[in-house]
Structure 1
Amino acid sequence: MTVLLVDAANVVGARPDGWWRDRAGAATRLLGRLAGLPGRSLPGPDGGVVVCDEVVAVVEGQARDVTAPVGVRVERAIGSGDDALAACAARLTADGTRLLVVTADRGLRARLPPATPVAGPGWLWRLLDEIGCAPPA
């Protein structure tokens, strides 16, 4: 079982769909799609299978106050989203939780616990599109 730890701002920013006009709305749409992942066996970024036990999304800035849908735990960054995600990853791995972090941020990747698997936003967007985790109506 794996926890998918998502850098929400980084993932939202990877698709030029006008997210910058409504950052909170874009984060809400992403979280709604992520809610369909827990409990599923997913094609992993390395070609293997990832059994998604839980989704944790780190939100920041204008998206910090979004409502968490059922199926997604939201970590609200008080300051830097990168700081919050790195701290969350450290806590979870210290507890023995298996993670897959989703971010394209190289600086953040370097701050993760050693050997933490990472996938880019493109992998997550393709996955959401392929398995039919549609945006909420």
Structure 2
Amino acid sequence: MRTLVVDGANVVGSRPDCWWKDRAGAARRLHDRLLRADLDHDEVVLVLEGAAKAGVPAGRDLHVRTVHAPRDGDSAIVALVTELSGAGALCTVVTADRVLAGLVSARGAVVSSPSYLLERLD
């Protein structure tokens, strides 16, 4: 199983489009774009934290699963990658956070940049 894990805060924050004025709305727009995208993964997991969680309920919507981070998104992503990799899934994490990239790489994930994903959503 190929899983794409999206660091929602990091992807939304990669474009200066006033997302900070409406974090929930920015998360909802990203979620909607992920739903419409034709991505080469069996599952897409969108990880949201803070105010962004109000934009999309936790749970599955077609091929996109939304996870609400109980604390910070990075910890939730590391835990998710650890679980998925342990179950044999091939994980790609979309983030520009270097610390997070190192943590998930050490757990077997491939890391891609927000621009990689956004180019496929446009």
DSSP-derived class of the 2:5 partner: strand
What is the aligned partner in structure 1 of residue 45 from structure 2? Answer: 56
1:30 and 2:30 aligned: yes
8 Å CA contact retained: 1:6, 1:55: yes
* Partner of residue 121 from structure 1, selected from 111, 114, 118: 114
Instruction: Supply the distance in 1 between the matched residues of 2:28 and 2:63 (Cα, whole angstroms).
Output: 13
Q: Percent identity?
A: 46
Equivalent pairs counted in the alignment come to 118
Deviation (angstroms), 1:4? 0.7
8 Å CA contact retained: 1:8, 1:27: yes
8 Å CA contact retained: 1:65, 1:76: no
Question: Please, which runs of 5 or more residues in structure 1 have no aligned partner?
Answer: 43-50, 130-137
Instruction: Supply the distance in 2 between the matched residues of 1:70 and 1:18 (Cα, whole angstroms).
Output: 28
* Partner of residue 99 from structure 1, selected from 81, 91, 97: 91
2:115 aligned partner, one-letter code:
G
Instruction: Supply the distance in 2 between the matched residues of 1:88 and 1:14 (Cα, whole angstroms).
Output: 22
What is the aligned partner in structure 2 of residue 17 from structure 1? Answer: 17
Which structure has the greater CA radius of gyration? 1
Deviation (angstroms), 1:111? 1.2
Instruction: Supply the distance in 1 between the matched residues of 2:6 and 2:98 (Cα, whole angstroms).
Output: 14
What is the aligned partner in structure 1 of residue 103 from structure 2? Answer: 111
8 Å CA contact retained: 2:82, 2:107: no
DSSP-derived class of the 1:64 partner: helix
- Stretches of 4+ aligned residues off by more than 6 angstroms: none
What is the aligned partner in structure 1 of residue 82 from structure 2? Answer: 90
Deviation (angstroms), 1:115? 3.6
CA RMSD of aligned residues (A): 1.4
1:33 aligned partner, one-letter code:
R
- Tell me the TM-score normalized by structure 1: 0.80
What is the aligned partner in structure 2 of residue 132 from structure 1? Answer: none
Deviations 1:78-123 (A, max 9, x none): 1111000110010000000111110000010111144411100011
1:66 and 2:55 aligned: yes
Instruction: Supply the distance in 2 between the matched residues of 1:29 and 1:17 (Cα, whole angstroms).
Output: 12
- Tell me the TM-score normalized by structure 2: 0.89
1:81 and 2:73 aligned: yes
